[in-house]
Each structure stands twice: as structure tokens, then as C-alpha cells.
Amino acid sequence: MLAIGDELLSGRTKDRNIAHLAQVLTLAGLDLREVRIVPDVEDEIVAALNALRARHDFVFTSGGIGPTHDDITADAVGRAFALAVEPHPEAERRLAAYYEGRSLPFTEARRRMTRTPRGATLIDNPVSVAPGFRVENVFVMAGVPGIFTAMLDNVLPTLPAGPVMTSVAIPCPVGEGDVGGPLGEIQKRHPETAIGSYPKFDGHRCTTELVVRSRSEAARDDAAADIRTMIEGLVAAGAKPA
């Protein structure tokens, strides 16, 4: 994913799209592999997009497709793909009808939102009409969370879904420092799983939450059983929160 916008890097806006995309892709059986956040600077958007689209099956961008001077994502995507950026006829039709219905002028600024790299496929925007677009493996979407979410809902059915990654979370009443050694051994014995260890700090003492993720339910449950046995052993041996 490529999140675009000065406001994300200045702290003015807290991004909400990254976590949403992460959750939705995980539910769809797809892995989010990398995220970058870049400012509204064309060179930076182009460089990050070219790196990401070469490395990954799909890239999702958020931000920079509105009508103002700081909305430069369409131009950056066009440059990344060496495609001319021009008004998309279907986007023009939709926006002209929308503004006519609202008795708003179809200003030059609003017309900016019809511009896409040549040959782009539109992504419907049921919230405020101005569409996102797809070029090859790159999906260009809005930064406003309600619109990003709605566009993503329209994109998801077009993606190949993988076997779903499921997870089990296992609370562990001792600190990570007691868990680390034996847990590493369990991870080695269950290569089909990804076992994560997360400290839980209540302000006084640390316990641990252990999470087993896998595309195979059997592998997940096998690893989880080993982890539960490990915890019983640690507690029986007197291990406590750290």
C-alpha cells in the first residue's frame, strides 16, 4: 500500500486506511506485505509506486485524487507508467451529471477529478461520485476513509482470493522473557505457521499474548496445542508475570 499526503506525515491526520486495508485483505486471504507513506511530492510518489508495483502483485494507493493543487496522484501514476493523463470520458459524464443534479458548477478544479492515465479502468465511488481508477496492478483510491472504504469494497471482488489466513490468540500469564526460548522451538517445529508474541503491560506487570497465524487450520491448531502445553509447563514450574 502507498498512502499519500503531507497531512499524514505532519501528524495533522491520523491514517485510518492502512489498518482497514490490512484487515480486509487478511479476511480475503491476501497478505499486505509492505506500506509506505510519502508526502505530496510527485518524484516521491513516482519512485515509491514504481518500487511497490514491481515487487508486489497489487498496489493500493490512498489520497491525492481530489480537485485541488495538492492532489497530484493521477499525474504521478501517469508518469510512473509513462502514460498520458487526460480526462476520462465516463468520469466526465458521471461528474457532469452529479454536479448538474446538485446545481453546482463543473469548475476546472472539479474537472481535475476526471483525469486518469490513458486506458485506466474506473473504480466506482458511491459516496461522492468522483471515481478512483486502476492501471494494471495499481488501484488508486481516495484518502477520505469513508470513500477509501467504499472504493475498496468495489475492488475486492475483482481480486483473486487466497486461502484465508486464520489466527488463534492465546493469553499467556507469564512474561515474554520466560516464553522466548521454548516458543522459538515451537515456531521451528511448525513452519506452516507464523507465531507472534506480544507483551501486554498493565502498568505494573507484563504478561504475553501469543498469536498463531496460518492458512492451514490443522497446522494452526497443532501449534496452538503445543503452545498451551508449553504454558502449562511454565506455570507448573513457577513462572509468573514479569
Q: Restricting to residues 71-130, which ones interact with a copy of itself according to CB under 8 A?
A: 71, 99, 102, 104-105, 107-110, 112-113, 127-128
Rounded least distance, CB 119 to a copy of itself, Å = 25
Q: Is 37 in the site for a copy of itself (CB under 8 A)?
A: yes
Query: In this structure, are residues 136 and 81 in contact, taking their beta carbons and an 8 Å threshold?
Result: yes
Query: In this structure, are residues 120 and 133 in contact, taking their beta carbons and an 8 Å threshold?
Result: yes
Q: Do strands 193-201 and 206-214 pair parallel, antiparallel, or not at all (unpaired)?
A: antiparallel
Q: Is 177 in the site for a copy of itself (CB under 8 A)?
A: yes
Q: Is 162 in the site for a copy of itself (CB under 8 A)?
A: no
d(CA 127, CA 106): 18
Q: Residue 160's closest CA among 58, 72, 39, 40?
A: 58
Candidates 96, 159, 235, 242; binder of a copy of itself (CB under 8 A) is 242
Candidates 4, 17, 38, 123; binder of a copy of itself (CB under 8 A) is 38
Candidates 42, 70, 86, 136; binder of a copy of itself (CB under 8 A) is 70
Q: Is 221 in the site for a copy of itself (CB under 8 A)?
A: no
Q: Is 206 in the site for a copy of itself (CB under 8 A)?
A: yes
Q: Is 15 in the site for a copy of itself (CB under 8 A)?
A: yes
Phi-psi category of residue 119: left, alpha or beta, with phi > 0 → left and psi -120 to 50 → alpha: left
**Coil, strand or helix: which one is 211?**
strand
Q: What angle do CA 41, 110, 59 make, to 5 degrees?
A: 45
Binding residues among 43-62 for a copy of itself as defined by CB under 8 A: 44
Question: For residue 235, which amino acid is it?
Answer: V
Q: Is 197 in the site for a copy of itself (CB under 8 A)?
A: yes
Candidates 56, 213, 215, 228; binder of a copy of itself (CB under 8 A) is 213
